């Protein structure tokens, strides 16, 4: 089973950016934790980060017929990007939206998620554990899909 984890703008700045919200651990620390969890679950994981909306759309399109599941933290594009919503709908791959913080309890402009309607679930507010919980949920969803299609 193959899972692609996509991270949007400024998430490469983890550890530096607003540590009171996002913590002091780095993007590399996050990638390591995700890889370890994927190993425990026995799945293949790829990680992609970009600050550019079009590159994120390309990554989602590139997953078509190649990946079984997507985990996406669109970062600020959560609140602005219809293009990312359309890309996830276009590829039809089971997707979970994640956030480190809980955007629903922050500024009002963060309460809108354009991506949410295309996702199985949203996991938010758990720091790095949001990704690990999303990975477990997605793998169990994809495994039950494979079972029922046998």
Residues forming the active site: 22, 99
Q: Is 12 in the site for ligand DQA (CB under 6 A)?
A: no
Within 8 A by CB and 6+ apart from 77, the residues are 8, 9, 53, 56, 84
Among 75, 85, 138, 139, binds ligand DQA (CB under 6 A): 75
Minimum CB distance to ligand DQA smaller for 110 or for 137: 110
Q: Is 49 in the site for ligand DQA (CB under 6 A)?
A: no
Shortest distance, CB of residue 42 to ligand DQA, whole angstroms?
27
Contact 127, 100 (CB under 8 A): yes
Size, binding site for ligand DQA by CB under 6 A: 10
3-state secondary structure the chain: CEEEEEECCCHHHCCCCCHHHHCCCCHHHHHHHHHHHHHHHCCEEEEEECCCHHHHHHHHHHCCCCCCEEEEECHHHHHCCHHHHHHHHHHCCCEEEEECCCHHHCCHHHCCCCCHHHCCEEEECCCCHHHHHHHHHHHHHHHHHHHHCC
Q: Is 103 in the site for ligand DQA (CB under 6 A)?
A: yes
Residues 106-135, mask of contacts with ligand DQA (x by CB under 6 A) = ----x-------------------------
Minimum CB distance to ligand DQA smaller for 38 or for 100: 100
Among 73, 81, 95, 122, binds ligand DQA (CB under 6 A): 73
Minimum CB distance to ligand DQA smaller for 73 or for 95: 73
Q: Is 104 in the site for ligand DQA (CB under 6 A)?
A: no
Contacts with ligand DQA by CB under 6 A lie at 10, 73, 75-76, 78, 99-101, 103, 110
């Amino acid at each position: 089973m193959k899972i692609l984890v996509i991270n949007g703008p400024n998430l490469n700045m983890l550890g530096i950016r607003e540590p009171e919200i996002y913590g002091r651990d780095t993007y590399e620390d996050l990638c390591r934790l995700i890889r370890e969890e994927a190993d425990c679950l026995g799945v293949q994981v790829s990680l992609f980060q970009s600050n550019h909306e079009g590159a994120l759309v390309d990554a989602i399109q590139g997953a078509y017929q190649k990946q079984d599941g997507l985990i996406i933290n669109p970062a600020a594009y959560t609140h602005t990007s219809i293009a990312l919503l359309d890309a996830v709908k276009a590829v039809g791959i089971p997707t979970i939206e994640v956030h480190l913080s809980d955007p629903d309890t922050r500024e009002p402009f963060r309460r809108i998620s354009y991506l949410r309607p295309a996702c199985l679930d949203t996991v938010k507010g758990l720091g790095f554990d949001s990704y690990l919980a999303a990975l477990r949920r997605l793998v169990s969803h994809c495994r039950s899909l494979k079972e029922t299609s046998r």
